[in-house]
C-alpha cells in the first residue's frame, strides 16, 4: 500500500473524485490548481485526495475519497494522515477541510484526526451545486469547515 502523486491532472481518477464531490466543474477546477495523490494497493487505485494551497502556510484537502467497496477499512484515515504529513513536510502550518452537514462519517473521521470545527458556510451546497444532495437521509445544504494546526 502506498500513496503517490499524480503528475498530470488528466491521469486523476475523476470517477473516484466524483464520489466525494458530485460537481464535475468543481473537481476539474481544483485538480488543475491542486496536487492530486492516489492510494494504491497492488497497483489498483483505492483512494484519492487533492491538496490545494490557499494562503501562505495554509493548505486545504479539497477532496478525499475511497473506492466504495474499500470504505470503512481505515483507508480514509490513512490517506488523511498521509495528507497531513505531506503538508507538514512542505512547511504548511494549517490544514483545512470542509464537508457537508449531512456527511456524518466524514465529520467523525476529521475530528478523530484532530480537526476542529471552525465555521459553517450556510447554504454552500444550495448556492454552488445544481442538484440537491441527500446523504444519510439529510438534505446537504451547509459546508462544515474544519482546520488542524500542523
pLDDT in tens, 80-122: 999 999 999 999 999 999 999 999 999 999 999 999 999 999 9
Over range 124-133, report the average pLDDT.
93
pLDDT at 57 over 80: yes
Q: How confident is the model at residue 7 (pLDDT cuts 50, 70, 90)?
A: confident
**77 pLDDT band (50/70/90 cuts)?**
very high
Question: Mean pLDDT, the chain, as a whole number?
Answer: 95
CA distances from 103 to 33, 86, 109 (A): 25, 25, 10
**pLDDT at site 10:** 74
**Which overall architecture, per CATH, does domain 2-149 show?**
3-Layer(aba) Sandwich (3.40)
Q: Name 4's Cβ contacts closer than 8 Å, sequence gap at least 6.
A: 37, 38, 40
* pTM of the complete model beyond 0.85: yes
**pLDDT > 90 in the chain, percent:** 93
pLDDT band at 137 (very low <50, low <70, confident <90, very high): very high
Domains of the chain by residue range = 2-149
pLDDT digits (tens, 9 = 90+) for 35-44: 999 999 998 9
Q: How far is the first Cα of the chain from the last one, in angstroms, to the nearest whole number?
A: 24
Assign 123 a pLDDT band (cuts: 50, 70, 90). Answer: very high
Q: How many Cβ atoms are within 10 Å of 119's Cβ, its own excluded?
A: 12
From CA 98, how far away is CA 109, in angstroms rounded?
12
**Mean pLDDT throughout 58-86?**
96
Amino acid at each position: 500500500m502506498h500513496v503517490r502523486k499524480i503528475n498530470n491532472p488528466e491521469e486523476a481518477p475523476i470517477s473516484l473524485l466524483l464520489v466525494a464531490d458530485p460537481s464535475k466543474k468543481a473537481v476539474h477546477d481544483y485538480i488543475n490548481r491542486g496536487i492530486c495523490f492516489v492510494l494504491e494497493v497492488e497497483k489498483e487505485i483505492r483512494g484519492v485526495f487533492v491538496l490545494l494551497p490557499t494562503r501562505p502556510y495554509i493548505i486545504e484537502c479539497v477532496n478525499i475519497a475511497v473506492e466504495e467497496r474499500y470504505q470503512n477499512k481505515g483507508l480514509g484515515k490513512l490517506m488523511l494522515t498521509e495528507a497531513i504529513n505531506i503538508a507538514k513536510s512542505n512547511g504548511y502550518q494549517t490544514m483545512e477541510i470542509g464537508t457537508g452537514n449531512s456527511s456524518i462519517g466524514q465529520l467523525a473521521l476529521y475530528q478523530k484526526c484532530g480537526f476542529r470545527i471552525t465555521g459553517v458556510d450556510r447554504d454552500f451546497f444550495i448556492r454552488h451545486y445544481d442538484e440537491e444532495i441527500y446523504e444519510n437521509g439529510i438534505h446537504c445544504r451547509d459546508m462544515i469547515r474544519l482546520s488542524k494546526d500542523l
